Amino acid sequence: MFSSRLGKIVRIALGLSLVGVVIYWVQREMDWRAALVHIRNTDFVWFTVALLAILANNLIKALRWRLLFPADQSPPAPGEAFGAMMSGQLLNFFLPLRSGDVSRAYWMGRQRQASTAIAAGTIGAEKVIDLIVMGCLFAVVVASFVLPAWLDTGPVAVLLQLVIGLAIWLGILLALPTIQAGLIAAAERWPRLTSSANSLVRVLHGFSTLRQGKRMPQLWGLTLLAWLAAIAATYAMLIAQQLPATVLIAILVMVIVQGGLSIPIVPGHLGIFEALAIVALAVVGVAAEQALAFGLMLHMAVLAIPLLVGLPWLVHRLQESS
């Protein structure tokens, strides 16, 4: 227990130190007046388009999440799924260690008198799907752009990410029933393991939709639509900031920013989001101040919907449970 808490404290301390370094670098190296000029010149019609695309992305992901619930579990209503997802994103912004994903699973179990462990498994299944998509998009980026030496991890890393995602999926397809049966047998043989084994069985049951061929067309169709909406949002924000806008550049920015934020070190991604946007746009020759303005506006847009939807939903649920 103590070592776990110490590890969390160390990780948060390292994250805050990284925030300090990034903020110091941005403040020292950036011409803020130039960045503010670019922000004032934002085309708010295209900014609104970006917001709508982000909203569409989140709505589609909520529908996909409902589809991931096993057939013997009633999925949350669309509004509940969307609210829980937005509150989870909000908590992921401001709390470390993917707290929002834990919260999402908790509320889905508590509010519906269902299994929190199964809900956690569906969130894990989400991550497996998106890991595969990110690997494919990363392959597009590596093939299309000359990346800095420290950033260009080459085809080996691309293949590794794809292999990991596909290996997890293949393991679910082939071994999931056997693993679940083994856990049940272990619980019967060693009663002290019953609680832990049953929890793991329920978590793994949350992955079971990945074995259902009938749901695959819908699942991958919604996944494709969600990622297209994310690319469209980045593309619209590039236009809003009068930056070079192509689908490939939008994919480049999205892969570097989302990939860099996938490790939950810093609450709110403060400074890190903007630094990653600067790094991504430097690949296509965009000046740092203009890239900073883009990063700030995109960060604002990404945070807006979780704040507007997730915060009221979370407050309402907390009031209900008090």
Pair 95, 267: CB distance under 8 Å = yes
Quote the CA–CA distance of 67 and 70 in Å, as a whole number: 8
Centroid of chain to Cα 264: 10
Pair 272, 18: CB distance under 8 Å = yes
- Tokens representing 220? 């991958």
Residue 249 burial by Cβ neighbours in a 10 Å radius (0-12, 13-18, 19+): buried
Scored b (16 or more CB within 10 A) or e, 187-197 reads: beeeeeeeeeb
Quote the CA–CA distance of 250 and 231 in Å, as a whole number: 6
pLDDT for res 16: 44
pLDDT for res 258: 84
Quote the CA–CA distance of 42 and 215 in Å, as a whole number: 42
Helix H, strand E, coil C: the string for 273-317 is: HHHHHHHHHHCCCCCHHHHHHHHHHHHHHHHHHHHHHHHHHHHHH
- Tokens representing 256? 């570097």
pLDDT for res 145: 82
pLDDT for res 2: 46
For residue range 185-242, list pLDDT tens digits in order: 777 778 777 777 778 888 888 888 888 889 999 999 999 999 999 999 999 999 999 9
What is the maximum alpha-carbon separation in the chain? Answer: 69
Among residues 224, 244, 236, which one has the least CA distance to residue 145? 244
Helix (H, G, I), strand (E, B) or coil at 77: coil
Pair 257, 273: CB distance under 8 Å = yes
Pair 168, 202: CB distance under 8 Å = no
Name the amino acid, one letter, at 237. Answer: M
Among residues 202, 177, 212, which one has the least CA distance to residue 121? 202
Quote the CA–CA distance of 18 and 204 in Å, as a whole number: 35
Residue 107 burial by Cβ neighbours in a 10 Å radius (0-12, 13-18, 19+): buried
Contacts of 234 (CB under 8 A, 6+ apart): 50, 250, 251, 253, 254, 298
Quote the CA–CA distance of 50 and 60 in Å, as a whole number: 15
Quote the CA–CA distance of 249 and 235 in Å, as a whole number: 8
pLDDT for res 94: 77
- Tokens representing 104? 């999402």
Alpha-helix residue ranges (DSSP H) falling in 145-244 = 154-189, 194-205, 216-240
CA distances from 273 to 31, 46, 134, 226 (A): 18, 20, 18, 21
pLDDT for res 174: 64
Residues of the chain with pLDDT under 50: 1-2, 8-20, 22, 24, 27, 154-155, 268
pLDDT for res 12: 45
